[in-house]
Each structure stands twice: as structure tokens, then as C-alpha cells.
Amino acid sequence: MLTVGTVQFAPVRGDVEANIAAITQLLAGVRADLLVLPELANSGYLYATPEDLAPHSEPGDGSGPFLAALSRLAGQTGGMIVTGFAERAAHGLYNSAAAVSAAGAVQVYRKTHLFLDEKTLFLPGDTGFRSFEHAGARIGLMICFDWYFPESARTLALAGAQIIAHPSNLVLPHCQTAMVTRCLENRVFAITTNRYGTETLADGRSLTFTGASQVLSPRGERLAQAPVSGDAIALVAVDPALADDKHVTARNDLFADRRPALYA
């Protein structure tokens, strides 16, 4: 069994240190094998230009202050922490997720499906969907709007992911319910960690985030859910092996019954 959890908070735009402090406070005394933070938890979400965002971004190799702090916190919690973060690469910025252990960043995923004005700020992700081993489980990463593309969760599940860690800054309705279907059709666990609150830019653009972070089972059961607003941590004990049984009936295996030759 693994203790997994969602850690919901409202990142402060442009204040990496404040966000590290908020996460540190939230995780005081918490022990868990896998924790998931929201999307862009270092930087906040709304920026007018890549130049505005760049000072609050950092490399994906763990050499910056945010991932280094999470690595220290992973040592305290005794497990892995998955976070969304603004990643600075040689040729531009990515909206990325990192899986961080006490040893540093284990895996970086760059968001495949950019949402709305993210297309101004970020390069389209180029990592693709992979799974990796952690504490006897296989973990896969996707970010927020990736939920609208069933290929994201499907590709992760086909790559062996038993638990999908899904840092988010959700603004559209339906993700929390749509993820039930993503779990049912792939028989995987999913931890969607959302933020809450509102961000407003000087030009009047404003987004309100929907909170309600959740942990779902391969049977689509909601094992835990945070409120629509407010800091929250919800921890659940899960058996990742439950995601290995793809049977819906005695004669229907969701993966064995696929007909890829007819999908082209």
C-alpha cells in the first residue's frame, strides 16, 4: 500500500519564496509516499509575456530554488513530490511537472496541450507521456488541460502508469468529473491537484480556479476531495496493483479488447 495525497494551495504570482514557504508550512508533519502539488506552483499562472514570467522560472535539473526546496521537503515527507513549475530551458519556457525525491528531480514532463494564452508564454511540450517507477508503483505525469485529450491518460496507461499525477490550474468546468471517465477507461488511479483563488492581470484578464482537488480509484471512486476554496491536504492509502486488472467483465479486458487497426 502507498500513502498518496493531494496538496491544494493558491500559489502567489511572482513570489517563489512565498510559495516555498506556503508548501513548507502545509507539509509540516506530513508523511506520504506520493504528494501532488498544483500546476505552476513556483510562479503562479497569469503573465502577459514570457519576459515577465522568466524571472520566476527555473531549470528542470533541480539546480533552482523551488525544486531544491521540494527535494528537501521530499526528504521530510519520506516520499516523492510531484509539482507543476515554470521551467526555464535554453530556448524558452515550458509549463512542466517534476517528480522530485530527496535525491533531486527524477522525471520532468513538459505540458503537451497548452491552454489559451499559455501559447504565448510557453513552448509546446516535447517530452511525451512516460511512466516511471516509484516505491513499487508506476507513476505517470500529465498537466491540467491534458485532461481534455483522452490520449494523454491513455498513453500513460499504455506505458504502464498505475497512478497518474495531474498538477492543475483548472478554470473550465467538468475536469473533476471527466477524470472519473479517464480512470474508468484506463483503470488507473488519478491525483488531480488543483489550485483555488483568482489571478488578475493589469490588462484586465482574470481567471478563477476551481479547487476541488481529488484522488480517484481505477473504479472511478472519489477517494478524497478538497473543498473548492482553501488550503487542503487529503491523504489516502492505495494499492497500485489494483490498476493492473483491466477487466470490466470476465470477457472484457480494456487493453486486450482494443482494436487499434480500426482506429487509424
Q: Which residues bind ligand ACM (CB under 6 A)?
A: 39, 115, 144-145, 169-171
Q: Considering the complex, state which of residue 156 and residue 170 has its C-beta at the smaller distance from ligand ACM.
A: 170
Which residues lie below 8 Å from residue 106, measured CB to CB, with a gap of 6+? 80, 98, 99, 100, 132, 134
CB-CB neighbours of 244 under 10 Å: 13
For residue 111, indicate whether it is catalytic: yes
- Distance in Å, CB of 44 to ligand ACM, minimum: 12
Q: Considering the complex, state which of residue 18 and residue 172 has its C-beta at the smaller distance from ligand ACM.
A: 172
Position 11, amino acid? P
Q: Which residues of 118-141 are buried (b: 16+ CB within 10 A; e: fewer)?
A: beebbbebebebebbebeebbbbb
- Distance in Å, CB of 168 to ligand ACM, minimum: 6
Cell of 193: 491537484
- Distance in Å, CB of 45 to ligand ACM, minimum: 7
Looking at 58, 87, 118, 144, which residue is catalytic?
144
d(CA 191, CA 165): 5
Looking at 87, 111, 118, 175, which residue is catalytic?
111
Q: Considering the complex, state which of residue 86 and residue 243 has its C-beta at the smaller distance from ligand ACM.
A: 86
Q: Considering the complex, state which of residue 46 and residue 74 has its C-beta at the smaller distance from ligand ACM.
A: 46
- Distance in Å, CB of 143 to ligand ACM, minimum: 7
**Pairing between β-strand 189-193 and β-strand 163-167 as defined by DSSP bridges:** parallel
Q: Would you please indicate which residues are annotated as catalytic (active-site) residues?
A: 39, 111, 144
